[in-house]
Amino acid sequence: MDAERLRFLYRTDQGRIDRATWRRGAGALVAVLLPLTLIWFALAPYSAHDLATTPFFAPMTILAYVYVIFYAFAVMLIVVSFINLSAKRCRDRGLAPPLGLASLAPLLALLAGAAHFLQPRVAEVMSRWYVWGVDALFVAAALWTVYELGWREDDAAAR
């Protein structure tokens, strides 16, 4: 794929795309996000640093925190790219507001990730049920987004 096509798909929300293009574009973003997330899952246990049991300069803890900074930046770029891609498809489907609907699943994904990160640290005030509730909302929004933008038949009235 050439640079102009990548710029159109991921850097602007203007324009329209068909469902096959949306599926390919979203799949490419997932293919980038999945290995980055698996690496974070492997490094996440090292982010819990207790000075009573580990030395001040623990190399794996430093690596985990350096990686999480990189990971957070990459996730934000992927989220913005997904929103731009999905807004084009929402516009093509005649869904309004395209940016609002395109942002729904990524927003809930970020909230679910934050809830998973925060809950173990504040378990006395944040129930596990809260995390599962946010997860359920995210799954519902993600399934709706994938169906609506990636598999639902185009109707001529929306154009």
DSSP sequence for 79-106: HHHHHHHHHHHHHHHT-SSHHHHHHHHH
Q: What global pTM score does this model have? A: 0.89
Mean predicted confidence (pLDDT) in 130-156: 92
Each residue of 95-141: pLDDT tens digit?
999 999 999 999 999 999 999 989 998 999 999 999 999 999 999 99
Q: Does pLDDT of 41 surpass 80?
A: yes
Q: Is the dihedral of CA 60, 63, 65, 71 positive or negative?
A: negative
